Amino acid sequence: MIKRSFASDNNAGVHPEVIEAIRAANEGHVIAYGDDPFTERAVKLFKKHFGPDVAVYFVFGGTGANVLGLKAITKSHQAIICAETAHVNVDECGAPENFTGCKLLTVATPDGKLRVEQIKPLLHGIGVEHHVQPAVIAISQATEMGTVYTKDELKTLADFAHDHGMLLHVDGARLSNAAVSLNAVLKEITADVGVDVLSFGGTKNGMMYGEAVVFFDPKLAADFKYIRKQGMQLSSKMRFIAAQFEAMLSGNLWRRGPAHANRMAQLLASELAQLPQIKITQPVESNGVFAVIPSEHIPALQQKYFFYVWNEEISEVRLMASFDTTEKDIRDFVAFVRETVK
Amino acid sequence: MIKRSFASDNNAGVHPEVIEAIRAANEGHVIAYGDDPFTERAVKLFKKHFGPDVAVYFVFGGTGANVLGLKAITKSHQAIICAETAHVNVDECGAPENFTGCKLLTVATPDGKLRVEQIKPLLHGIGVEHHVQPAVIAISQATEMGTVYTKDELKTLADFAHDHGMLLHVDGARLSNAAVSLNAVLKEITADVGVDVLSFGGTKNGMMYGEAVVFFDPKLAADFKYIRKQGMQLSSKMRFIAAQFEAMLSGNLWRRGPAHANRMAQLLASELAQLPQIKITQPVESNGVFAVIPSEHIPALQQKYFFYVWNEEISEVRLMASFDTTEKDIRDFVAFVRETVK
Amino acid sequence: MIKRSFASDNNAGVHPEVIEAIRAANEGHVIAYGDDPFTERAVKLFKKHFGPDVAVYFVFGGTGANVLGLKAITKSHQAIICAETAHVNVDECGAPENFTGCKLLTVATPDGKLRVEQIKPLLHGIGVEHHVQPAVIAISQATEMGTVYTKDELKTLADFAHDHGMLLHVDGARLSNAAVSLNAVLKEITADVGVDVLSFGGTKNGMMYGEAVVFFDPKLAADFKYIRKQGMQLSSKMRFIAAQFEAMLSGNLWRRGPAHANRMAQLLASELAQLPQIKITQPVESNGVFAVIPSEHIPALQQKYFFYVWNEEISEVRLMASFDTTEKDIRDFVAFVRETVK
Amino acid sequence: MIKRSFASDNNAGVHPEVIEAIRAANEGHVIAYGDDPFTERAVKLFKKHFGPDVAVYFVFGGTGANVLGLKAITKSHQAIICAETAHVNVDECGAPENFTGCKLLTVATPDGKLRVEQIKPLLHGIGVEHHVQPAVIAISQATEMGTVYTKDELKTLADFAHDHGMLLHVDGARLSNAAVSLNAVLKEITADVGVDVLSFGGTKNGMMYGEAVVFFDPKLAADFKYIRKQGMQLSSKMRFIAAQFEAMLSGNLWRRGPAHANRMAQLLASELAQLPQIKITQPVESNGVFAVIPSEHIPALQQKYFFYVWNEEISEVRLMASFDTTEKDIRDFVAFVRETVK
């Protein structure tokens, strides 16, 4: 396998500044489980970026962040509304159902974005004990299709949720990519538009491991420390997650990586679009490119470059850029594609 | 707080050789989720240490390792027999019950070690649908009380378990400390005595994060990759857990740290034993020292040194040594204790 | 409210012969929980009707029967494929997900019947740990839309399931209605076509309470007695469920009621079809009639007759006949409809 | 087997007045799932007996009543404190753990009664995320050992629970026996002493099936209709449970049966106590008698009379009287015992 593929942003390694922060945190003893100065500083940075009232908890991974955040705001007879393509629906091996006990109610949506009109039909049955009771709208920002909700779209969803006694949960594994795409700071696309609970991604943005669950109303987090422990997501040497987030959020590293990755995705899409055999299928709004490539050429491409076929039926592939993707990586890949499909 | 306390081996940082291994693994892209050369090499090392037929899976943390290993070998109407002091019983916020659906049947045992005679009374009710059905004996090696099962004791428990249709699970967060204590290699106190499933600890032994679930009969692991993902313990950038285990197991680092920690615990116990006001309460067989200290002095000691009161009723404290505890740390601490309690 | 409505077959009372069987069983003491002669006789009758090798367990209700039967043949990382309209999907308040831990994968199907072509797309992802693994195809016979799978359709589904390592589960709350409709005995549409697990309905067919879970391969039932107890479905005074099933299955009562109910549904549909304002929307193959009635007339009808609007968007209602529906009930109702909608 | 044994009060049949109530309820159609006049009347009777503000829900069985009531007042990281002998601990196949996700913290108590001093040691660890958080004290009244809490004892437990942020749950499968024993009405030993949630038993008191979950603060029942449905305990033909409770509570049938059963237990104990080979081991305060019978005679006794050995180690048996036990039953049994053990 070559050094850098387009399979996923989690195939990349760790940003050098993050590695350095880890090394620097490795000094002496500190109390385990988060009662340490690293965690205290990292939490302060979250409050700076997301608002002074947020409650923040670090967990090991992205599935853990999503599932535990959802557990905190649901009871087992309730339902979580999400897109059919949502990570919580297709990529977490049923962990949301298993750990929350809830049903996921899914909506088919070609661009990965939920809209109020699609949600309304799921709400009849309210108050009827035979049916699960929708309690959460769960979206991904950026979506699994590389698209990005605008601030207005987010606010519309949040308002609708709140008007109907529901909460808005955001899987922000790639929230930073979305913020860059919208030219926004993190608070503008979360607290300011009415998001209730957020999984804030670290790993896909250049960390080694570690995600954050952010509650915009701390009352929602009343039991979360127990949920995190029971959910097997409490790290003993917490300082090493905290130090990574500190590296991310103390300067502008949180947006430098995604800004670069988004630009690389744009470049990749525009180059591929020039090949008549290839069709870009989604607007490129973050760091993912979706493209139909004639299926007969895919095996040859995959021998040299690792990437995923997203939709076999239409021979659509997903190509992800990451913080360390270079222009040369892209030009080499596109040249190879051009050669292969011609 | 001072640099090095005696609160827990997980208050220590990361061994320098482990940090170096992480840094070295941070090169280019590799496939996520464990399909990478780092993981392949680490798994080979596990097979070398534990036997060629083991199935090995890396997870984020110790609670995850225990709970998922137990889930793999139980059904929800079954029961897990363990000591009252077991980590799975008291320190995992009910995660075993919540994730496996099983009941824990506990046995009071002053030294943390289970014995067959204590288990027998829990087995009436076999075949009766009103009662949970014991399926696993779960022990900790070393125990939470710092004691260590001998090879014979382990074999007796394993044989008893197998004779009664049960399996033997070992929480080995400190297995390396036990191996050093018994002057044994890892296989001798696991595969060779009949252990079925093992949580092999990394974090308390100088890693940053990461534990391993080891199945000595790979058929028991048939579903484990799904259980790990659904259990929110599948790391995307798996190479960084694998690289740490490689650092541990490729040379003798896995036993260097514990050997030192065990020696430091011995030193600490022998020094404290010379103070007439203090009583050592458990045999010091691994890296923990349990001691009764007059309760009126504990606040003063805790102001300078962080450690846990284990049993308030008898004013018993737990003092843990770790890979980086120095003789000076111990002499300073003992001097301070002597001064305080006199 | 009038004496007999068309809301559901479970709005009816208990068949007089069933009440008499209950009364007759109320003699002296018998061992609780099913170790009694009534249960023994009832189980023998199930073996006579479904085959000598079936394992049969009685439970309190239909949701319990479905959920526990599914629990017996799934692990929590697996998935259950069913129609969007399935009782397990929409009418059990998420009990299947909550108790099995599994995800339900649903298929939109206008007539309530699953077809192999609809199931195939749900099978990619087999062996990939990020995705739930389909293990069961769950159908309803008769379906929630009143339609009935033919023997060939059942065999095709069972063969497909088995060819893909899955099992076929049948929610037979109205299996007797389906058997009558197909002019078949019970074995012909279950054991003979490859059904693996069946919920055999009693309540909707004139019993007071009580359903049966039937395993056509008794090995699948190995743990079921524990699952039933843990699933809160083990009746202490079991003889009273058994006696009801004995009344049903010792003569032809099991098919007398459904045969009548099916005929009444036919009559109701044919009479309603003569009203030009009303459109029958599903083939009437069991005891349910689905019809579009102009929405402005529905409130007036519901004031006198209790029934459910099935699909508000198209003003479709569901009308169910039961064992005690009379021709006069139908003629009175149709007359009232005619009067109301004209 | 002879007509009436001493195995359990659920080996009895159904009281004739209850059978008659069932028969009378079998008239025409009523709406399913509890929206019917029978349920309305029965609920009114509960309010009359337990206080005007109670919320009452009928379920199929006793395990369901206990588990669902506990689910309504717990979160999965919490703990339920109970006696080691409690039905929820030993006789429900782990259903409480499985369905609530909670841990049960048990207390050894020879007479089946919990005392505040035994509970206090379970409360350290409050606020510490590694440990489950006690939220409920769950007692049985009468206990599984046939003893009965006095009003003062109940109030002490309730006050202690409330002072520590916990609730008091009562498994009242035999609450009526306790009320008779205490010469109290039902409200005096529940609402008036601070009970929060009650399982009120029907089956062991002469009903066919059906128990009630009673919430003394209706706010605790806010989600219960969903919990009941998801917990597979919602009966469709609810009127038949309601009619049985109406028969019980409209006159004095609820106490006639237990009063008789308690008297029969007294008679049985006093007669057995005259045999020098037999030792009564518990105060006989309700309808159970515990006695040590020389183990060599038990097989001979069990050949003619079905009853359970409670504690094999000391050869202690449990003998239960029920509403239909006669003086002759007892004299015949005691004569047979006398003959056998002499």
* Vertex A75 angle, CA C81 and D211, to 5°: 90
Tell me the residues of chain C between 206 and 245 that have a Cβ less than 8 Å away from chain D.
208-209, 226, 229-237, 240
Label residues B148-183 b or e (16+ Cβ within 10 Å = b).
bbbeebbbbbbebbeeeebbbbbbbbbbbbbbbbbe
pLDDT at B250: 97
**CB within 8 Å: D29 and C14:** no
Share of chain A above pLDDT 70, in %: 99
Residue pair A194/A167 in contact by the 8 Å Cβ criterion: no
Chain A hits for C313, Cβ within 8 Å: 121
- Nearest chain D residue to A34 by CA distance is D129
- Nearest chain D residue to A100 by CA distance is D76
pLDDT band at A342 (very low <50, low <70, confident <90, very high): confident
Q: Which two tokens stand for residue B240?
A: 């960084």
Chain B hits for D92, Cβ within 8 Å: 130
**CB within 8 Å: A19 and B22:** yes
B129 at C interface, C-beta within 8 A: yes
**C-alpha to C-alpha distance for C211 and A1, rounded to whole angstroms:** 58
Residue C206 to chain A, least CA–CA distance (Å) = 22
pLDDT over 80 at C2, yes or no? no
What is the overall mean pLDDT for chain B? 96
Question: Which H or E run includes B158?
Answer: helix B151-163
Q: Which candidate in B85, B93, B107 is best for mutational testing of the D interface (most D CBs within 10 A)?
A: B93
**C-alpha to C-alpha distance for C212 and D302, rounded to whole angstroms:** 31
Question: Which H or E run includes B180?
Answer: helix B175-182
pLDDT band at A3 (very low <50, low <70, confident <90, very high): low
What's the whole-number mean pLDDT along residues A59-79?
Answer: 98
Kindly report the pTM of this predicted structure.
0.97
- Nearest chain C residue to B32 by CA distance is C130
State which residues of chain B have pLDDT below 70.
Answer: 1-3
Residue pair A111/A147 in contact by the 8 Å Cβ criterion: yes
pLDDT over 60 at A335, yes or no? yes
**CB within 8 Å: B94 and D103:** yes
pLDDT over 90 at A329, yes or no? yes
Cα-flanking dihedrals φ and ψ of residue A148, to 5°? -130, 130
**C-alpha to C-alpha distance for B251 and A331, rounded to whole angstroms:** 42
Residue B228 to chain A, least CA–CA distance (Å) = 9
Per residue in A26-54, pLDDT (tens digit) is 999 999 999 999 999 999 999 999 999 99
- Nearest chain C residue to B102 by CA distance is C230
pLDDT band at C230 (very low <50, low <70, confident <90, very high): very high
Chain B hits for C101, Cβ within 8 Å: 230
What's the whole-number mean pLDDT along residues C271-287?
Answer: 97
What's the whole-number mean pLDDT along residues C233-256?
Answer: 98
Interface size between A and C, measured as CB pairs under 8 A: 56
Chain D hits for C92, Cβ within 8 Å: 229-230, 232
- As a whole number of Å, the CA-based R_g of chain A is 20
Residue C335 to chain A, least CA–CA distance (Å) = 31
**C-alpha to C-alpha distance for C12 and C14, rounded to whole angstroms:** 7
Residue C230 to chain B, least CA–CA distance (Å) = 7
Provide the 3-class DSSP secondary structure of residue B55.
Answer: strand
Of D33, D129, D230, the CB nearest to A76: D230
B98 at D interface, C-beta within 8 A: yes
pLDDT at C45: 98
Kindly indicate whether the ipTM for this predicted assembly is greater than 0.95, answering yes or no.
yes
Q: Which candidate in D66, D84, D98 is best for mutational testing of the B interface (most B CBs within 10 A)?
A: D98
pLDDT at A299: 95
pLDDT band at A5 (very low <50, low <70, confident <90, very high): confident
What is the overall mean pLDDT for chain A? 96
Decide: residue B35, CB within 10 A, 0-12 exposed, 13-18 middle, 19+ buried: exposed
**CB within 8 Å: B103 and D101:** no
Cα-flanking dihedrals φ and ψ of residue C168, to 5°? -110, 120
Give me the half-sphere count of Cα atoms (radius 13 Å) on the Cβ side of residue B195: 33
pLDDT at D342: 87
Instruction: Give how far Cα B246 sits from Cα of A160, B17, B179, C275, C323, Å.
Output: 51, 10, 18, 79, 71
Q: Which candidate in C17, C208, C238, C304 is best for mutational testing of the D interface (most D CBs within 10 A)?
A: C208
Tell me the residues of chain D between 309 and 328 that have a Cβ less than 8 Å away from chain C.
322
**B151-157 contacts: CB < 8 A, separation 24 or more?**
B151/B182, B151/B184, B151/B188, B151/B189, B151/B192, B151/B193, B153/B113, B153/B115, B154/B189, B154/B193, B154/B194, B154/B195, B155/B193, B155/B194, B156/B116, B157/B114, B157/B116
Q: What is the pLDDT along chain D (342 residues), one digit of tens a residue?
A: 456 889 888 999 999 999 999 999 999 999 999 999 999 999 999 999 999 999 999 999 999 999 999 999 999 999 999 999 999 999 999 999 999 999 999 999 999 999 999 999 999 899 999 999 999 999 999 999 999 999 999 999 999 999 999 999 999 999 999 999 999 999 999 999 999 999 999 999 999 999 999 999 999 999 999 999 999 999 999 999 999 999 999 999 999 999 999 999 999 999 999 999 999 999 999 999 999 999 999 999 999 998 999 998 899 999 999 999 999 999 999 999 999 998
Edge-first strand order for the sheet with D316-320 is D279-280, D288-292, D316-320, D308-311
pLDDT at B1: 45
**CB within 8 Å: A76 and D228:** no
What's the whole-number mean pLDDT along residues C311-333?
Answer: 95
Q: Which candidate in C82, C89, C93, C124 is best for mutational testing of the A interface (most A CBs within 10 A)?
A: C93
Q: Which chains touch C (3 or more CB pairs under 8 A)?
A: A, B, D
DSSP state of B205: G
D283 at C interface, C-beta within 8 A: no
Interface size between A and D, measured as CB pairs under 8 A: 34
A217 Cβ neighbours under 8 A, 6+ residues apart = A53, A196
pLDDT over 50 at A287, yes or no? yes
Provide the 3-class DSSP secondary structure of residue C174.
Answer: coil
pLDDT over 50 at C1, yes or no? no
Share of chain C above pLDDT 90, in %: 96
